[in-house]
Structure 1
Amino acid sequence: MAVPTDSTPPTDSTPPTDGDPTPGSALDDAPGSTTPVDAAPAPAPAPTPAAGLRELLPLVRPHRRPLLLAAGLSLVGAAAALAQPALTGRVISAVAAGRPLLPAVAALLLVLVAGAVLNAVQSYLLQRTGEGVVLTTRRTLADRLLRLPVAEYDRRRTGDLMSRIGADTTMLRATVTSGVVEVAGSAVVGVGALVAMALVDVWLLLVTVTSVAVGLTVVVSTSRRVRKLSREAQEEVGAMTASVERALSAVRTIRASGATAREVAGVGESAARAYRAGVSVARVEALVAPAGSIAVQGAFLAVLGLGGYRVATGSIAVADLVAFILYLFLLVMPLGQAIGAWTQLQTGLGALARVQEVLALEPERDDAAEVGGATTAPRVPAPGSPAPLLELDDVSFAYPDGTEVLRGVSLAVPPGSRVALVGPSGAGKSTVLALVEGFYPLSGGAIRWAGTDVRELPRAALRARLGYVEQEAPVLAGTVRENLLLAAPDAGDDELWAVLADVGLTGVVQRSARGLDVPVGDEGVLLSGGERQRLAIARSLLSRPALLLLDEPTASLDARNEGLLRQTLAAAAADRALLVVAHRLSTVLDSDQIVVLDAGRVVARGTHAELVETSPLYRELATAQLLV
């Protein structure tokens, strides 16, 4: 595998591209991940809306059976817990009265063991259900993230989206396991304990309720801030993840630019903001525990004092006081659990709000489904047919702020022909390909496939007829085989080797004993720039598209490999049409038609020889590249 090194650069390492920008650069003419200089920045995402239990219910509804079972076990466990103080009182009474202890002790032990078993089963069910909720949410979120309109990715940072499917969904587990069900179970135990305490002694109950109510008031008023602060903390974690993703994705450029220390400082500052947000959450949560502790200790001391007095005066028996204190413990324990669960619930709802923000986004729309259009793309016209395969009719495109990129562009790609788009940077060439692929909605005009408006065709059916090779030629982490099978999952090894031979990559793969299963590294880092370009072209050719869209196909090739690729494209054009964006005019000299774009308009069209004579702009470009 041709790995770029300091000592031996790849034979087809990236040559200069005559000033042509790469996608996402400041001069790019395609609406990419970074806003071009001639367009207003994309509007910032709206603030994350609040989420409540109503938004949580759709996520837990598919798991309602195990949740109901866990809730039922919680009720039975609550009954077992409530029975324990009464049985303990019976043991004390039996000792005081000299009655046999075995029946009372056996009943108490049975209830203790049963309660422990029920709690274990309930805990397992809740943990499994929590994992199920996280799995369902991640699958739903991943489906939505991968189906968003391309413009949505322009507005948002990749790392922040990754944080939502990772850290935010993980927090939902605690919401289910320590939140909803435990709050319900704790409420049952608490209510039961209060009823039992009322039956034992009303005055002791009033002292208890007064002490606990003071603590609960502080807890509830404090926990209201937890959800908001937790959501802000998750936003900062998402921003930190985005900063790390940004740095790692360009680590070689950062190292070469001597900017490592600055990037480390930037990520560190982002981590510091996440730290400060987390500390704010911890500060508020820290107020909850002391408030609950003071309430509990105050209730316990008050009960001991008043209870001791009432025992001394003969108002209640010692066994009743012991039972009341045990009921107080039963009230205190679920109360503490409920306070913790409520805090967890608020934290989880803060994370849920970020998940819901993405789920609320509309996925990429298929116009054909809305207007009742065709269910398949029209048949491809035969070569030589008068009907064009692809036609752009007075197409315009503008950014949301109204900045125009294309102005009344019209062109036709006949079946089996080669059409090239040339022009200076920022002319709108790459934007044309993005619009053909349906990545962005048209501002005006129409794009037709075999005479049918593409808005009346299913987007998936149309894209199945197109092959698209971006300028940066993305290569997915994995193996050569996995990359090739991306668009043609049923292709056999013979087809894979054949298409590799077509683009001159056979030797690269044969250098490894693993053959087609040789890894390419993250984003194809184990391949040179030219090899990544050719692998992307091979991937598109393998799907046998009727129209191949190529954005700077030779930008990363040396002269030798450019010649080889030109032969490949000539062979590919024998049974398919090509629409090629090129700054290097030598790539497209033999095109059937060359369309010259400038400032978003078509200013000339014709063959190379015709344009040299008739188009000053084309003649200038050709002269600069020593082609005239």
Structure 2
Amino acid sequence: MSGIESGVDTPPELSARETWRALYRHFRPHRRVVALGAFLALVGAATGLAQPLAAKALVDRLGEDGSITGILLLLTGLVLFGTAVESVGSYLLERTAESVVLAARRTLIGRLLRLRLPEVERTQPGDLMSRVTSDTTLLRAVTTQSIVMAATGGLAFVATIVLMGVMDVVLLGVTLGVIVLIGGAVALVMPKIAEATRRSQEAVGEISTVLERAFGAFRTVKASGAEERESAVVEAAAQEAWRHGVRSAKWQSLASTSVGLAVQVSFLAVLGIGGARVASGAISVSTLIAFLLFLFYLIDPVSKLVSAVTQYQVGSAAVARITQAERLETEEEALVDPAGAGEVVAGAGGAGAGGAASVTFEDVTFRYREDLPYVHHGVSFEVPGPGMTAFVGPSGAGKTTVFGLIERFYEATGGRVLVDGKDVRDWPLAALRATIGYVEQDAPVLAGTLRENLVFAAPDASEEAIRNVLLRSRLDGLVERLPDGLETLVGHRGSKLSGGERQRVAIARALLRGPRLLLLDEATSQLDAVNEMALRDVVAEAAREVTVLVVAHRLSTVTLADRIVVMDAGKVRAVGTHDQLVAEDPLYGELAATQFLASAR
């Protein structure tokens, strides 16, 4: 089971103090409602404690040939009142528990969507999803019910023990002796419950990870005839979750049934010793009956205490996994555009306020992790705006990484990355990204409607701006053919669109934002010749007003660039025009010749 990579697949061992602090953080906003639920539960418990005393009075009254009507009515009233109060308290606690889960999910989702990209790349998305869904569910009981059960169960236990002691200390000693003996054995299995639950939740996360992988490449799975193999992987993870779930259930069953065992053994011991004490005249029959009733009543608070401890063990495993996710490094500020930062420029594709942006790399070095080799070895270049600059070079030269550093998906290990002469680390992150339109290499399209995808980066775009960008990206014909036009669902990851259509949607989405800097990572790779020519014209037109950086492998795109940056092995070899580089740089000449040959076939 892979879990989470880079040595964080096992949740950190939290101390008891850290666990309680994390639990209290979830519990704190609802503490007043929980206190009210606990108070109602205590009232219900108090009515239960009064019943054995009423029963003792009833037996004494029978011995005196007195009327028992009043006592029966009192008993009936206590039962009805106690049931009603406990029902209201239970509803409040259940409702609060759902609120705790909602708040935990809301907080965790907001944090996970702000994770730094390296953190996401080191983790399994399916496992993170299971922490939002499965692990937060386990908070439901531990943050409300277990706390209340521990409090009310403990108080009810103490009150019952006191009343039993008042009635007969000898019988109380017998009862406590049995409970302590069996309770000690129960305490030994509690850590096993926590461990089994933790492993079960990890296996559930693995199921999500495997399914996310399979559905993310569903066509590849089918085309490769790998359904059975993928099913086997999922089943193995499910079997692992079942195995640990059964182990947890075994220990929990042992803990819960021990309560009944303790009471039954205590009952037999009390019945035997109590019968002897009645026969000797040490206590009355009514006292023995009341004591036995208290003994049976003791089942409830003891059960609550055992359940509270069990739920704590289960919840602590979930809290550890949630805490681990919360400790992943996030970007330092919320990705919410400041006022005006993400304003859509009418017409789309034009330069935003301030004109075209400039980009400068000053002796930039970078590696993804300390244990990995450097990707950039002192990269330096300058791109004034507007205009088009193409980045070319063999695979692994570090071209796409340039875009990741500009967007601050990654932080440069050394040197500086400047936009408009200002270090990107000094920009407000939302303002920086509002300046940039970015088209990824695989041009992702999200599930939803075509309109939702187009306005994803510009939610306030006008209809005129949308129509304009549809025409410029050659998507107007597609919209006319679709059954519901812009409201047509595009399917999971745009499965209902062709590769070229997805690329055009991604380009239109970037243009609609009205960026000052446009980053295109091989944005025309899946387009046919006709659409590629059309999109090249769109990009060339945008380059008159904004700065366009493009990673390109097609010579037809490169020759349109105002300047070309040739990269190799994480360094900039040369900068110039197509004609200059063909004449002066052997690597570029080789790349250009190869592409000439490829286009001639």
Asked if structure 2 preserves the Cα contact closer than 8 Å seen for 1:81 and 1:189, the reply is no
CA distance in 1, matches of 2:270, 2:587: 94
1:345 to 294, 297, 312: 312
Q: 1:68-467 residue pairs with structure 2 within 5 A?
A: 68-365=35-332, 382=355, 389-400=358-369, 401-467=371-437
Q: Work out which of the residue numbers 448, 462, 469 in structure 2 matches 1:492.
A: 462
Whole-Å Cα distance in 2 between the matches of residues 585 and 258 of structure 1? 37
Corresponding letter in the other structure for 1:483 = N
89-98 vs 58-67, which moves further: 89-98
> C-alpha separation between the residues in 2 aligned to 1:575 and 1:363?
34
Report the Cα distance in structure 2 between the residues aligned to 1:509 and 1:45, rounded to whole angstroms: 46
Q: Is the 8 A contact 1:380 1:450 kept in 2?
A: no
Q: CA deviation at 1:622?
A: 1.3
2:34–2:144 CA contact under 8 A, matched in 1: no
| TM-score calculated relative to the size of structure 2 | 0.92
The 2-side partners of 1:42 and 1:597 are apart by: 31
Aligned alpha-carbon RMSD (Å): 2.1
Give the letter for the 2:486 counterpart.
L
Of 192-201 and 257-266, more deviation after overlay is shown by 257-266
Per-residue CA deviations over 1:574-597 (Å, capped at 9, x if unaligned) read 221100001112122111001111
Q: Write the distance in 2 (CA, Å) between the matches of 1:287 and 1:107.
A: 38
Q: Secondary structure at the match of 1:216?
A: helix
| Mean Cα deviation higher: 526-535 or 316-325 | 316-325
- How far apart are residue 290 of structure 1 and its match? 4.1
Stretch deviating more after TM superposition (98-107 or 153-162): 98-107
Q: Deviations over 1:455-501 (max 9, x none)?
A: 11111111110011100111111001111221111112222122111
1:20 aligns with none
Contact 2:563 2:576 in 1 (8 A): yes
Q: Which residue of 1 aligns with 2:594?
A: 624
Q: Can you give the 5+ residue segments of structure 2 that lack an aligned partner in the other structure?
A: 335-339, 343-350
TM-superposed CA distance for 1:362, in Å, is 2.8
User: Which whole-Å CA distance do the structure 2 matches of 1:68 and 1:156 have between them?
Assistant: 39
Amino acid at match of 2:217: A
Summarize the Cα distance change of 1:248–1:86 in structure 2 as closer, same or farther, 3 Å threshold. Answer: same
Confirm or deny that 1:514 pairs with 2:484: yes
- What secondary structure, in the 3-state scheme, does the structure 2 residue paired with 1:526 have? coil
Residue 311 of structure 1, CA deviation? 2.0
Q: Report deviation, 1:556.
A: 1.0
State how far apart, in whole Å, the 1-side matches of 2:246 and 2:47 are: 39
Determine the structure 2 residue equivalent to 1:584: 554
Q: What is the CA-CA distance between 1:236 and the residue it aligns to? A: 1.6
Contact 2:26–2:143, Cα closer than 8 Å, also in 1: no
Is contact 1:467–1:541 with CA below 8 Å preserved after alignment?
yes
Q: Structure 2 CA distance, aligned partners of 1:585 and 1:140?
A: 48
Contact 1:59 1:137 in 2 (8 A): yes
CA distance, structure 2, for counterparts of residue 539 and residue 157 of structure 1: 28
Cα deviation per residue 1:226-249 (whole Å; 9 max; x = unaligned)?
112211221121112111111111
| Structure 1 residues 298 and 118: alpha-carbon distance in aligned structure 2, compared to 1, 3 A threshold | same
Q: Structure 1 vs Structure 2: percent identity of aligned residues? A: 46
How far is the alpha carbon of 1:381 from its aligned partner? 5.6
CA distance in structure 2 between the aligned counterparts of 1:382 and 1:518, rounded to whole angstroms: 35
Partner SS state of residue 438, structure 1 = coil
Residue 397 of structure 1 deviates from its aligned partner by 0.8
Describe the shift of the 1:236–1:285 C-alpha distance in structure 2 as closer, same or farther (beyond 3 A): same
Greater displacement, 226-235 / 591-600: 226-235
2:498 and 2:9 map into 1 onto residues whose CA distance is 40
SS of match in other structure, 1:191: helix
Partner Cα distance (1:324, 1:418) in 2: 90
**Matched position secondary structure for 1:396:** strand
Structure 2: which amino acid aligns with 1:471? Q
Cα distance in 2 for residues equivalent to 1:509 and 1:216: 70
Q: Distance in 2 between matches of 1:119 and 1:163?
A: 33
Moved more, 539-548 or 494-503: 494-503
1:597 aligns with 2:567: yes
Q: What 5-or-longer segments of structure 1 have no aligned partner? A: 1-40, 368-374
1:88 offset after TM fit, Å?
Answer: 1.7
Distance 2:368 2:320 in 1: 29
Deviations 1:327-346 (A, max 9, x none): 11111222123212321221
Cα shift at 1:359: 1.1
Shift of residue 547 of structure 1? Answer: 0.3
1:54 to 9, 15, 21: 21
Secondary structure (helix, strand or coil) at the match of 2:412 reads coil
Paired position in structure 2 for 1:371: none
* Residues 555-614 of structure 1, C-alpha deviations (whole Å, 9 max, x = no match): 111111101111111222222110000111212211100111111111111111111111
Q: Are positions 1:536 and 2:506 aligned together? A: yes
d(CA) in 2 for partners of 1:44, 1:533: 36
Q: Would you say the 8 A contact 2:164–2:291 is kept in 1?
A: yes
Verify the 8 A CA contact 1:376 1:457 in the aligned structure 2: no
Q: Which residues of 2 match residues 602-617 of structure 1 at below 5 A? A: 602-617=572-587
Contact 1:423 1:597 in 2 (8 A): yes
Per the alignment, in what secondary structure is the counterpart of residue 404 of structure 1?
coil
**What are the Cα deviations for residues 143-163 of structure 1, in whole angstroms up to 9, with x where unaligned?**
111111100011100000000
Shift of 1:394: 1.3
- What is the alpha-carbon distance in structure 2 between the residues aligned to residue 581 and residue 544 of structure 1? 20
User: What is the aligned length?
Assistant: 578
Give 1:504's match in structure 2, choosing from 440, 459, 474. Answer: 474
Q: CA–CA distance in 2 between the matches of 1:587 and 1:479?
A: 30
Q: 1:366 to 1:198 in 2, by over 3 A?
A: closer
Q: Distance in 2 between matches of 1:520 and 1:430?
A: 27
Letter in 2 for 1:312: A
Answer 1 or 2: higher relative contact order, Cα 8 Å, separation at least 6: 1
Q: Aligned partners of 2:5 and 2:298: how far apart in 1?
A: 54
Residue 259 of structure 1, CA deviation: 1.8
3-state SS, counterpart of residue 298 of structure 2:
helix
